[in-house]
Amino acid sequence: MKHILLVENHSVVRLATLFIIRDVLPVLTSWEADNFPDALQVVSAQKLDLILLDINIPDGEGFQMIGKFRRLQPDVPIMVFSAIDEEIYALHYLKAGANGFLSKSSSTQEIRTAIAAVLINGRYMSEIVQHALLSSNIPGARQGNPLTALSQRELEVMDLLLQGKWTKEIATFLNITGSSVSTYKARIFEKLGVTTVIELYQRVAALRE
C-alpha cells in the first residue's frame, strides 16, 4: 500500500487528482493539506511514498518548501503539480530537490504516467522540461522568454516583489540581507528591461500571456 500526501488548496482539484491517482494505485492511503503548515504536520507524522505539491498554496514558501520536506523525510519523492509556467519554473524546482514537475494542464494519461514514473524510477520530466534542460546545457541556446534567464533566487525575489513585498520583508522571508535583495532586484530589472515594480508587473504579465 502506498501513502500519498496531496498538497492543494482547491477542493475540486484535490478530488479530481485523487480520482486519477486511485486509477493508478487502487490501494492507497492518502492525506490532504490545503496549506503549507498543515502539509508539514503530515510529513512530520506520517511515512510517505509520494508528495504531490502545488506551489501556490496558503502560507507557501516557494522553493524553500522542498528543502523543509526533505529535512523531515529525506527520501520521499516530491512531484510539483502546479499551474505555474513549466518552462520557466520546472528546472529550478528540480534543482531545489523535486523529483518531477507536472503542469495542471497535463492530460489525464500524462498525470498517470508521471505518478507511476516517480514511484518506480524516482524521476519524471515532461517533454517541455527535457527540452528546457537540453537548452540550458547548450551555450547560446537560451532565447525567447527572458524569464527563463532568471536564476532561482531571482525568481523568488521577483515573485515576492510582485506580491507587493518590501525589501525588508523579502530579506526576512528569504533569510538574506537587504543589500542582497537590492542586488537581485537590480539584476531582475536589468534582465527584464524595466525600472520600477509597476513596469515589472506589466512586463511579467505580458510574458506570461
Determine the pLDDT at residue 209: 65
- DSSP per position, 154-165: HHHHHHHHHTT-
Task: Give the pLDDT score at 167.
Answer: 92
CA quadruple 62, 120, 27, 20: dihedral sign: positive
Cβ-contact 48, 119 below 8 angstroms: no
CATH fold, domain 146-207, is Arc Repressor Mutant, subunit A (1.10.10)
Residue-level pLDDT at 126? 77
Domain pair 2-135 / 146-207, same fold: no
What is the DSSP secondary structure assignment for residue 143, as one 8-state letter? -
pTM over 0.85: no
**DSSP three-state, residue 152:** helix
Task: State the pLDDT at residue 77.
Answer: 94
Alpha helices in 6-151 (DSSP H): 11-24, 36-45, 64-72, 86-95, 108-121, 127-136
Q: What is the pLDDT of residue 90?
A: 83
Q: Are 124 and 100 in contact (CB under 8 A)?
A: yes
Q: Name the residue ranges covered by the structural domains of the chain.
A: 2-135, 146-207
pLDDT of residue 139: 47
Q: Looking at residue 136, what is its pLDDT?
A: 59
Q: What are phi and psi of 164, to 5 degrees?
A: 90, 15
User: Kind and range of the H or E element at 188?
Assistant: helix 178-192
What are the per-10-residue average pLDDT scores of the chain (209 residues)?
Answer: 92 89 84 95 95 90 91 94 82 88 88 88 79 59 70 88 89 89 92 90 81
Q: Domain 2-135 adopts which CATH fold? A: Rossmann fold (3.40.50)
Which pLDDT belongs to residue 135? Answer: 60
| Cα 13–Cα 58–Cα 65 angle in degrees, nearest 5 | 95
52 alpha-carbon distance from chain centroid: 10
